[in-house]
Amino acid sequence: MLAIDGYTRTCGLIGNPVEHTLSPVIHNTLAELTGQKLCYVPFHVETGRLEDAVKGAYALNLLGMNVTVPYKSEVIPFLKDIDPLAQKIGAVNTLVRIKDGYKGYNTDMPGLYRAMCADGVRIEGEKVLILGAGGVARAVAVLLAEKGAAEILILNRTLDKAKQVAAEVNQLAGRALATAMANAEHTDLPEREKYLVIQATSVGMHPRDDEVVIEDEAFYERVHTGYDLIFNPAQTRFMKMVQAHGGRAYNGAKMLLYQGVIAYEYWTDTQITDAQAMKVFEIMQNR
């Protein structure tokens, strides 16, 4: 570990809770690998103290911050500037120090894209089905629109919520790209059509390991690739069902890795190599 002294810059994570985060593993390992004098620590910010935390971080000369639940949208009014992608998504997870404050970025979705590229999963020209219609699903839909998906289907337990996300994405895209469906309507999908499916709900997350959004085995016949944004457990039931029907399946661990890598690149103006990223990934897996 690099020695901490008066030249060491500090970055950190603000959220509630933050006690079980893997972010210090990512950033402190990157600092070692790149020889940067940087130290990363988590900060538990109580409800109602977010503005104080952002102002305090700037006053203490912190180089940058990550933001996690429940503050990814709530932090936006306290920023000096915001990146256009983060503005479209409506969520910020990375703060970069600029003059008189912080600029907000969303590295979650670029992190997902970089992870998918690393896994050999393409978006351009693909018909993509998203399970869920929450904030994460909306962000995924925006990313898909930006990266040239041919069609986006949003499946959700509550149809109205899926319709709202589809309408917002279509407005951003300037065309009818996204369609909303209720989960039960998956039986209406064309039988011979195959989809890239992104699982963007918390269903199946530990300790609910045995749960899955859609139980029907026939649904998984329509999945050529399944991407579950959950990373604990490493093998979700969704992934197992995709694989059982001949599809490829991935979890969200590399998304977690690359959102951190991109944030680190913003803070330090460095480019992390694939070899360095995979070294961090190995350490994350061990933890």
Q: The domain that contains 175 carries what CATH number?
A: 3.40.50.720
pLDDT tens per residue, range 221-234: 999 999 999 999 99
At 193, the pLDDT band (50, 70, 90 cuts) reads very high
- One domain, residues 81 and 161: no
d(CA 86, CA 101): 17
Q: Is residue 136 part of a domain?
A: yes
> What confidence tens digit (pLDDT) does each residue in 153-165 have?
999 999 999 999 9
Domain identity same for 147 and 214: yes
Six token digits for residue 78: 């306290």
Residues 128 and 46 in one domain: no
Rg (CA), the chain: 19
CB 137 within 8 A of CB 163: no
- Does any domain span residue 1? no
Q: Which of 240, 239, 221, 220 is nearest to 229 (CA)?
A: 239
Rounded to whole angstroms, how far apart are CA atoms 257 and 230? 13
Distance, CA of 8 to CA of 238 (rounded, Å): 43
Whether 168 and 243 map to the same domain: the answer is yes
Residue 3 pLDDT class (50, 70, 90 cuts): confident
Domain shared by 124 and 184, yes or no: yes
> Which one is catalytic: 37, 55, 72, 279?
72
Element containing residue 103 per DSSP (H, E): strand 101-105
Question: 241: left (phi > 0), else alpha (psi -120 to 50), else beta?
Answer: alpha
2: in domain: no
Q: How far is CA 26 from the centre of its chain?
A: 15
* Tens-place pLDDT, residues 109-137: 999 999 999 999 999 999 999 999 999 99
CATH of residue 21's domain is 3.40.50.10860
| 130, part of any domain | yes
Same domain (yes/no): 131, 244: yes
* Residue span of the structural domain in which 218 resides: 110-251
Known catalytic membership, residue 163: no
- For residue 46, pLDDT over 70 is answered with yes
- 4 belongs to a structural domain: no
Average pLDDT over residues 50-58: 98
Residue 192, Cβ density class (10 Å: 0-12 exposed, 13-18 middle, ≥19 buried): exposed
Nearest to 259 by CA among 22, 77, 71, 44: 22
pLDDT by residue (tens digit) across 90-104?
Answer: 999 999 999 999 999
pLDDT in tens, 244-280: 999 999 999 999 999 999 999 999 999 999 999 999 9
pLDDT value of residue 2: 72
> Is the pLDDT at 147 greater than 90, yes or no?
yes
**Measured distance CA(199)–CA(132) in Å, rounded:** 7
The number of folded domains in the chain is 2
- Average pLDDT of the chain is 96
CA dihedral (225, 204, 236, 143) positive or negative: positive
For 43, residues 6+ apart whose C-beta sits below 8 A from its C-beta are 12, 13, 14, 18, 53, 57, 65
Q: Are residues 33 and 124 in the same domain?
A: no
Of 286 and 141, more confident = 141
Q: Tokens for 150? A: 């041919």
- Determine, yes or no, domain membership for 96: yes
Please report the pLDDT score of residue 1 as a whole number: 62
Token digits of residue 237: 């039931």
